[in-house]
Amino acid sequence: MKIAIKILVIMAVFLIIGLDSAYAGGGTRNGTGGATELSIPVGARGIALGGSSLATETGLDALFWNPAGVANMSNSATASFSHMNYIANIGVEYGAVAANFAGFGVISFDIKSLNIGQIAVTTNDQPDGTGQTFNPQFLTAGLSFSKALTDRIAIGLTFNYISETLAQVSSTGFAFNAGVQYKDLGDIPGLNFGLVIRNIGPQMTYTGPGLTVSASPIGSTATPTDPFSRPPSFYSINAAGFDLPSAFDIGFGYTPKLDDMNSLQFSGVFENNNFSGDVYNLGAEYGYNKTFFARLGYTMSPKDQDPNYIYGFTAGAGINYDLGGIDVKIDYAYRSVKYFSANHVFEISLGF
C-alpha cells in the first residue's frame, strides 16, 4: 500500500507539472492550435454521458477519457470498433485492442483516423478549381499502459503518435496522456475520483514540397541590358510551429447501491484547456440487469469564456450480451451540435 501511495504521489506531481501547458492561454487562443483530432472524443458510452465519465469509466471504454480506467477491465482481452458521423460530414473511424497480463498490467493499442474526403485544388488564377483534388489524411495511433496498484488506485499512461498530411505538406508529432482513478474516496462506497492530463507534447510543424515556391528578388530578374541579374529561384518557406490541444480534467462519479437488477451512476467533469474556455460535463446512466443501459449527458462552457461553444445535450443506449463466453457490447451515442448536423456514434466491443 505504501508503494502504491508513493506511485500515486509521483503521478500527481507529473500531472501538476503538465498544468502549465494545459492552462496557458485558455479561452484566448481559439483557432490558433493544431492536431485538433486529438480532442475528438471516441467511445459511445463516454460521449453519451457528455464526456463526464473519466472517474467511473472502466475497461477499453476508458482509453480516451482516462487510461487509468483500462486497468479495471473485466476480460483478459478486449477489442472495440466505432464510427462517428462528425461535423461537416467528416467520418471518424476508431479501433482499439487491449490485453491484461496478470501481475504486470494492461497493454492497449488504438488508432483513430479522419475520413475527410476529396477536396478540390484551387489557385489564385483558378479559384474555382484546377480539376485536381487531394485527400487530407489525419491519423493518431496510441500505445497505453494501465495498472491497478491496489483495489482502489489505478494509473494509466498513453503515448500518441500524430500524423497529418495535406496535399504536399505533412507534419508528425507525439503527445502523452496520464491519468489516475481512485475508488471509494473517503471510504464512501461508490464515490470515485479521477484526474487526467491529455495531449502534452512539443509543437508540430508542417514541412514538404508544398512549401517550396519560385520567386525573384525585386529588380533581380535577368534582362537583355543586365544579363547577370539573378534569375528566379526556388525558396523553402519555414512554417510556424503550432501547439497541441492540451487539457486538464478532474472528475467525480457516484454509484449508489440499489439492487441486483437496477443500477444508477452519476458523473461530472471539469476541464481546463489551452485554447478555449472551461468546459463542464454532466452525465447519468441507468442500467437494468447489467444488460440494458440508457444514458444522458450535457456539456457546456460559460458564454463569457467561450461564446462559440457548439456542443450541448447528449444521449445514448447500450446492450451487453454474453455470447457463449464472448462478451458483446453494442453502444450508440447522440451529441447535439450547433450550426452542424448532430454527431452519431456506433460502437461494438468484444471481450474474451
In a domain, 89, yes or no: yes
In a domain, 223, yes or no: no
In a domain, 232, yes or no: no
pLDDT at position 267: 98
Q: What is the pLDDT of residues 232-273, one digit of tens each?
A: 777 788 888 999 999 999 999 999 999 999 999 999 999 998
Long-range contacts of 100-103 (CB under 8 A, 24+ apart): 100/73, 100/75, 100/76
In a domain, 231, yes or no: no
In a domain, 68, yes or no: yes
Question: In which residue ranges of the chain is pLDDT below 50?
Answer: 21-25
pLDDT at position 21: 47
Burial class from Cβ neighbours inside 10 Å (0-12, 13-18, 19+) for residue 289 reads: exposed
pLDDT at position 124: 81
Is the C-alpha dihedral spanning 62, 67, 71, 75 positive or negative? Answer: positive
Candidates 41, 39, 61; CA nearest to 51 is 41
The model's pTM is 0.89
Q: How far, in Å, are 46, 58, 92, 181, 317 from residue 65 at the CA level? A: 7, 10, 17, 11, 18
In a domain, 225, yes or no: no
| Domain residue limits at 143 | 2-206+241-351
Looking up residue 256, the CATH number of its domain turns out to be: 2.40.160.40
Burial letters 204-238, b for 16+ CB under 10 A, else e:
bebeeeeeeeeeeeeeeeeeeeeeeeeeeeeeeee
Burial class from Cβ neighbours inside 10 Å (0-12, 13-18, 19+) for residue 95 reads: middle
pLDDT at position 41: 96
In a domain, 227, yes or no: no
pLDDT at position 308: 82
Question: What is the count of structural domains for the chain?
Answer: 1
Q: What is the pLDDT of residues 211-235, one digit of tens each?
A: 888 777 665 555 555 555 666 777 7
As a 3-state breakdown, the chain gives helix, strand, coil percent values, each rounded to 5, of 15, 50, 40
